[in-house]
Structure 1
Amino acid sequence: MHISNAHFYKICRDRLLQAQNRRTRSINAPSPSPSFGPKAHLKKVPPSQIMHVTDPSGQRLVWKGTPLSVLIIKKIMDDSVLGPFKELSRWLSEEKNLLIYIESKVFDDEDLLNDKDFAPVRAKMKSFKEGVDLSNKVDFILCLGGDGTLLYASSLFQEASVPPVMAFHLGSLGFLTPFEFEDFKESVNMLLKGDAAVTLRSRLKCLIFDSSDIPNGFDNDRNDDPNQIIPPTPKKVDPPSLKFKFQVLNDVVIDRGPSPYLSNIDLYLDRRKVTTVQGDGLIISTPTGSTAYAAAAGAAMMHPNVPAILITPICPHTLSFRPIVVPAGVELMIMVSPDARHTAWVSLDGRNRQEIHKGWCLRITTSVFPVASICSADQISDWFDGLVECLHWNTRHQQKALNTPKRGDKNRNQVNS
């Protein structure tokens, strides 16, 4: 099998990184000094309010027991992925004795049905339909395709934790798929052995409540003063009606949909109205989603280990509305403004698009169930490799150096007398 020089270099570099000792310092910021000058200091907080933060660079996967099952997510409508899918499935079934779960639409694919050589492997597989709870059945996930396969795998686990995911680059972009398929045996063996580096990619929990019954004491009346805090007592005692809930890995996009008018959206942060968005819409994204739609809309790209939520306007009708980053622990509330000329539309990771009417409420918080993405090298190297190789970040032809001037030569910028 022929291996390109670039791929051989990447393999050697990854092996070198894995052979080196682990980082000697945290990628989190150091703890600040509690003293400020000779007399001022931070007030001590009770132990119940102290949160112990783990160094992301030290997060590694371990198994409580031997992994017995695997979910394979295959890119659909791409015949080039069928061969790798069969090769991987045969090896996992015959060599590793793993129970394989696949989607029913893949299980019933004509190419698999008509392949007699693959029939023994297919007979051992278990199929499922979207919406079935797999949280207690699948030990880990293998993705074959592009970034969309990882987003789809995340969408299958809405009410519980997501099994660890190893994503192989067989798609178009591959920013979230750091593994090369030609090394799949070595990569999967590394995963099964344990102690693999993982990046915990935060997700957003999105709840949509209907009509005028707003949760958590929110008032549905117009608030013209941005400094006024919403009263905590609701006007109505009826509980809010939950219309829809979903957890996203990339972003929540609120836009004007087919309407020719500007969107008019009120944005609240922790019960406080911060602004009204007038433009094409708003993007609420995770650090993982900062390299997707948000990046195209002019936002900064954030490393997935940064605990934050990114708020990015889409074509705002003002010159001063810049993307902002807020702490990951805040609660965002989004409502169609009472003065809006039309409704708004929301999409969650590019799916489940639906209309948001006046008075409806969209509540967004950071989920407690992140996606554990297996690293090829480590959390830092994988991210920068994706920026350069997939997004061509800061890539240009290198400026040539000038020749060293010889002794006695005059500077070319000097004017000869």
Structure 2
Amino acid sequence: MNSVFHQVALIGKYHAGAGGTAAAASNRAALEDIAQFLVAEGCDVAIEHDTASASGIVGYPVLDVAAIGTQCDLGLVIGGDGTMLGIGRRLARHGVPLIGINQGRLGFITDIPLDRYRQVLAPMLRGEHEEDRRSLMQACVMRDGRCVFKAQAMNDVVVNRGATSGMVELRVEVDGHFVASQRADGLIVATPTGSTAYSLSAGGPLLHPANPVWVLVPIAPHTLSNRPIVIPDSGEIAIELVAGRDASANFDMQSLASLLHGDRILVKRSDHQVRFLHPIGWTYYDTLRKKLHWNEGGS
């Protein structure tokens, strides 16, 4: 037996037929190939329930996320960063480590190229890997003193104006201290993991994931002196919707809450972290250089 991991769960893209019939067939072929490779390495393989339904792959035990959390010692995610975000939030409480094989586009957190997975994955299964822990945010929408919506986020919590409306006015507090009233298209609260997502496109800084911080990034602020600010992730952020129509709060862009005036979005650090495993020698700087195309043509 080559692998130090005994029970491995395969998690893929959830949406059946996403990208068309050819893409669905390609997804299934990739999953089947990787499953056979894992078996050859001495692993017992299970397929995550939604992955099995979407791909139609058969011949392996099918487990829901809770069962993966209690029965598996590794999750292998085949897809893009969105797939990893979704399963990472759900498995964080179980402490199951995750390895990402990139079948998407950018792949900041699914960093093993699909066409090289055998060479890269084989030593990792033998225990030759780096571990990288990422913090989560726990958020809730408070209305009239009670929580009406709650969610976790690995990338960001975003308060947005409505699609056809003007700016929103937001009151921002950190640990009960008033920070600013902002008129803008919205506000992003991003983790270091999320600093390469929406936050980056809105002008926020890149944050190394080893830093225990968040960044607050206004989206198209009315006052140009409203700039991104990096704050410790040990406190609680409160964002109150003062004015603006059809505003919403997004959590990793995968869950959504409609907001009313006076609603407060409370954001604090979750008790759980996501565990990523990377090849030996991996660094965050390598990821940035490759994905952002820095120094192309250089040494």
When the two structures are superposed, what TM-score results if normalisation uses the length of structure 2? 0.87
| Residue in 1 that maps onto 2:250 | 347
**How has the CA–CA distance of structure 1 residues 152 and 280 changed in structure 2, closer, same or farther, with 3 Å as cutoff?**
same
5+ unaligned residues in a row in structure 2: which ranges? none
- Mapping 1:6-405, distance limit 5 Å: 67-75=5-13, 76=15, 77=18, 78-79=23-24, 80-93=26-39, 95-104=41-50, 106-109=51-54, 112=57, 122-128=58-64, 132=66, 134-157=68-91, 160-194=93-127, 196-211=129-144, 213=145, 241-337=146-242, 340-342=243-245, 344-378=247-281, 380=283, 383-393=284-294, 395=295
Which structure is higher in RCO with an 8 Å CA cutoff and minimum separation 6?
2
Question: Whole-Å Cα distance in 2 between the matches of residues 299 and 124 of structure 1?
Answer: 44
Q: Which runs of 5+ in 1 are unaligned?
A: 1-65, 113-121, 214-240, 399-417
- Alpha-carbon distance in 1 for matches of 2:297, 2:113: 27
TM-aligned CA distance change 1:109 to 1:358, over 3 Å: closer
Q: 1 CA distance for matches of 2:29 and 2:212?
A: 39
Residues 336 and 343 of structure 1 are in contact (CA less than 8 Å); yes or no, is this contact kept in structure 2?
Answer: no
**How many residues align structurally?**
288
Task: Give 1:236's aligned residue.
Answer: none
Q: CA deviation at 1:125?
A: 1.9
Q: CA deviation at 1:109?
A: 4.3
Which structure has the bigger radius of gyration? 1
- The 1-side partners of 2:67 and 2:257 are apart by 24
What TM-score results when the alignment is normalised by the length of structure 1? 0.64
Distance 1:147 1:336, change over 3 A: same
Query: Partners in 2 of 1:303 and 1:322 — Cα distance?
Result: 19
Output the amino acid matched with 1:257.
Answer: G
Alpha-carbon spacing, 1:397–1:331, altered in 2? closer, same or farther (3 Å): same
CA contact 1:198–1:372 (8 Å) conserved in 2: yes
CA offsets per residue over residues 220-261 of structure 1, 9 Å max, x none? xxxxxxxxxxxxxxxxxxxxx222222211111101123512
Instruction: Name the SS of the counterpart of 2:272 in structure 1.
Output: coil
The percent identity for this pair of structures is 27
Query: 1:305/1:173 Cα in 2 relative to 1: closer, same or farther (>3 Å)?
Result: same
Structure 1's 379 and 111: CA in aligned 2 closer, same or farther, altered over 3 A? closer
